[in-house]
């Protein structure tokens, strides 16, 4: 595998379910990001991890819980979501945080909350 | 506040040239990025400008004017595979990317 991978690619869950999204990067990068992409809206940065430490949490509701066990893996744990949380969730990585290096994105998880 | 403006949708003809504009207002500035995103796929990096002027990379060029808070992406010799959304993003003083909503480019034969 190369680049940034995400699983699952599609997820349908009820509001009472608990699920997790997984991201893995094979680029040797030190920074990883979670974004939310809703139709016709700008990408919203959710969380940033740098060397496994969370550095940014952009006022994300607690029903989204990130986890970064090492520099290559990033998870987003989901519980008691709302229908408005339906969106494409993108993971990205970059060489360093707080730098102008470009970000490399995974293909995303299309989440539908019913 | 921080804001990025770009057109929602544009249409162009195969073989032609199209210019996608982007204006930005961010707290500080550490560069302007353009990404391409095909439907159902990941955004992929196209260009980065931090100094004024034109950067050319094959059929794609990107221009920046810092004094005007303005950038454009120029696509030449359009091909059907260029049909995609083009995302403009400005990096602010905290190195956070502030994203536009994207411009959907439709190429017609």
Decide if pLDDT at A100 tops 60.
yes
Is A108 part of the contact surface with chain B (CB cutoff 8 Å)? Answer: yes
Instruction: Look over chain A and give the mean of its residue pLDDT values, rounded to a whole number.
Output: 93
Asked if A30 contacts A95 with a C-beta cutoff of 8 angstroms, the reply is yes
Residue A1 reports pLDDT greater than 60: no
Q: What CA–CA distance (Å, rounded) separates B7 from B20?
A: 8
Instruction: Report the residue of chain B nearest A98, measured CA to CA.
Output: B95
Please name the residue of chain A whose CA is at the shortest distance from the CA of residue B86. Answer: A42
> What is the predicted pLDDT for the residue at B94?
87
Contact across the interface for A100 and B8, Cβ inside 8 Å:
no
Average pLDDT over residues A2-17: 93
Chain B contact present for A41, CB below 8 A: yes
Answer yes or no: are the C-beta atoms of B45 and B55 closer than 8 Å. no
Q: What confidence score (pLDDT) does residue B1 get?
A: 75
Nearest to B101 among A4, A41, A105 (CB): A41
- pLDDT at position A64 over 80: yes
Q: Report whether pLDDT(A74) > 80.
A: yes
The mean pLDDT values, 10 residues at a time, for chain B of 109 residues are 93 98 94 95 95 96 97 98 98 92 97
Q: B97 contacts in A (CB within 8 Å)?
A: 43, 45, 103
């Amino acid at each position: 595998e190369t680049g940034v991978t995400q699983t699952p690619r599609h997820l349908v869950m009820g509001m009472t379910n608990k699920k997790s999204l997984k991201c893995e990067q094979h680029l040797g990068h030190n920074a990883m990001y979670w974004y939310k992409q809703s139709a016709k809206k700008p990408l919203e940065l959710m969380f940033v991890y740098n060397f496994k430490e969370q550095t940014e949490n952009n006022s994300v509701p607690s029903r989204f819980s990130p986890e970064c066990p090492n520099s290559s893996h990033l998870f987003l744990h989901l519980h008691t979501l709302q229908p408005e949380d339906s969106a494409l969730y993108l993971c990205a990585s970059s060489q360093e945080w707080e730098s102008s290096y470009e970000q490399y994105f995974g293909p995303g998880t299309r989440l539908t909350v019913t | 506040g921080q804001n990025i403006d770009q057109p929602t949708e544009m249409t162009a003809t195969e073989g032609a040239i199209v210019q996608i504009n982007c204006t930005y207002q961010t707290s500080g500035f550490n560069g302007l990025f353009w990404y391409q995103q095909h439907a159902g796929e990941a955004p992929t990096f196209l260009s980065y400008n931090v100094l004024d002027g034109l950067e050319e990379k094959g059929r794609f060029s990107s221009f920046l004017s810092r004094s005007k808070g303005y950038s454009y992406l120029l696509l030449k010799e359009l091909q059907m595979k260029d049909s995609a959304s083009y995302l403009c993003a400005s990096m602010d003083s905290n190195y956070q990317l502030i994203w536009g909503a994207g411009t959907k480019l439709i190429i017609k034969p």
